[in-house]
Each structure stands twice: as structure tokens, then as C-alpha cells.
Amino acid sequence: MAAAFLVALYEYSPLFYISVVFICFLVTSGLVMGWFGWDVPVILRNSDEAESTVKVSQKQMRQVKNPFSLEIKNLETASVANGITLVPDCLEDCLLTCYWGCSVQKIHEALQKHAYCFRIKTPQAFEEAVYDEYLYRQQYWYPLIRVAYLCFCRVAEC
């Protein structure tokens, strides 16, 4: 009897067919949302959303082209005899190495090797790239702690 009633409704009104499909959609949507706790299913979630299984450490973002900068203080008094005062600013812990008496040609060759052959990642690799042709070297360690660091470099007294 109920089936005959539904067939009679369908024959008289195509709107009934559309209503049945819509009700089926609502029931299916309710079941899916109930299954996933009224949240969007993982498959439909955007990958940029915050929920992730891998925890990534957060770092302060700064808009810089180079993550390392070096400022020369008192530019007018800086010289080989008087030394030079440097203020480094870096996003990570860094090791600043100052080389005195390097040949400009050797530095250019080392930078070419860095760009086209192999990456220079350590002071020792740089020294090998300039064939140890420098007069004096100083190293300074700068931790990530944000403190105004000053570094004074000068050629050692002979």
C-alpha cells in the first residue's frame, strides 16, 4: 500500500523525486558528519590547516633576503692598523671568521668555486679554496640570543 502511494506521488509530481534525492543527501550527510564528529573529513581538509601529525619548531619570521647581515660600526675609523668593529645579525647560531690579507683574486676564485663547483660550508673549506693565502684569521661565535654583539677585529701585532 505504501509502495503504491509512493508510485502514485512520483507519477503526479517530479518534485517528489527531487525531494527524495534531497532527503537521501541530508541523511547521508548527517551520517558522515556524525561519524567524523561534525568536523570536515580528513580527505576534504586543506593541507595548510594547523592539524598535522608532524610537529615543526616555530621560529620568528623576519623579512630579509639574506639571513645573515654584518654592519661595520665607525666606518671612518676602520682600517687595517686600527681594526674594525662589526655588528653581526643572524637568524641562527653562527661562527664569524675574519680573514686579513686575502688576495681579492683568490676570494673571487673561491666564490666562483662556491657558486659552480662545491658549496663552501666551513672556514676550513674556505681556507682550502683560497689556498691558505691569508695573513691572519680571527673567529667569533655568536649564539642565537638577541643581544647587541660587537666584534673587534684587528691584525695581530707581529
pLDDT < 70 stretches in the chain = 9-10, 35-57, 59-67, 145-152, 155-158
Q: Is residue 59 part of a domain?
A: no
Q: Which amino acid belongs to residue 49?
A: E
Asked if residue 123 belongs to a domain, the reply is: yes
Q: Is residue 49 part of a domain?
A: no
86 shares its domain with 36: no
Category of 132 on φ-ψ map: left (φ > 0), alpha (ψ -120 to 50) or beta: left
Q: What pLDDT digit, counting tens, does each position of 86-129 carry?
A: 888 777 788 888 888 888 899 999 989 888 988 888 889 889 88
How confident is the model at residue 149, as a pLDDT? 60
Structural domain that includes position 99: 68-153
Q: Residue 110, class by beta-carbon neighbours within 10 Å (0-12 exposed, 13-18 middle, 19+ buried)?
A: buried
Same domain, 19 and 75: no
Q: Which residues of 75-94 are buried (b: 16+ CB within 10 A; e: fewer)?
A: eeeeeeeebbbbeebbeeeb
pLDDT at 105: 92
